[in-house]
Structure 1
Amino acid sequence: MSESEFLTLSDAIFAQIEIALDDAAFDVDSLRAGNVLEIEFDDGSKVIVNRHTPNQELWIAAKSGGYHYRLQGSSWINTRGDGEFFADLAQAISTQAGAPFTFSV
């Protein structure tokens, strides 16, 4: 995929995350700045989603650790083990928010 296609796709993913957070029953603040989307919780903790354009990867940084995902077929798969981007992000958000959270993808 070209860099332009990756940026368009990752912009859509960031927007999907923001919409899902707006629809969630708990209070979080999200801030998008360039390649980074910060999700801040009431306790001040954050989950950070970053797009790494040179590798065409999405990265998650959370209390549980840092994770890298690359598009394989139609899913973003963890490059360092098992896991899928939206499932892992939902788990990180649920853990830090103290409430269930899911994406409808």
Structure 2
Amino acid sequence: MTETEFLDLAESTLDQIEQAFDRLFDQDVVDVECKRSGNVLEIEFVENGSKIIVNSQAPLQEMWIAARSGGFHYKRVGDQWRNTRDNSEFFESLSQYASEQGGAPVKLG
């Protein structure tokens, strides 16, 4: 994948996450605020003040998630982002972390 292709894909992934959390907020599923600065998306859970940070790492062509449960790196495999350690899928994992931190079932992607 070229750098331009990665940047486009990373941008659309961050957009997709932000839109999903906006919908969940509008549906009263979880009280969350998203802030975006460039390639960094900060997701704050208002109830407890915890955060999940999602960002892209262009030099490595990876998406990174920092959550209470740890830091995780995802590389593109086919049409999915896959964890570089355990091969878990990005959106399934992010849903799990958000459910844990937000106190309500969250389903993304």
* TM-score, normalised by the number of residues in structure 2: 0.91
Q: CA offset at residue 44 of structure 1?
A: 1.1
Structure 2: runs of 5+ lacking an equivalent: none
Q: Aligned Cα RMSD in Å?
A: 0.9
Cα distance between partner residues in 2 of 1:83 and 1:69: 9
Matched, 1:73 2:74: no
Percentage of pairs with the same residue: 53
Cα distance between partner residues in 2 of 1:13 and 1:76: 10
SS in 1 for 2:30: coil
Runs of 4+ in structure 1 deviating by more than 4 angstroms, as ranges, are none
* TM-score, normalised by the number of residues in structure 1: 0.95
Structure 1: runs of 5+ lacking an equivalent: none
Give the counterpart of 1:44 among 42, 46, 49.
49
Q: CA offset at residue 51 of structure 1?
A: 0.4
Give the counterpart of 1:102 among 95, 102, 107.
107
Q: Report how many residues are paired.
A: 104
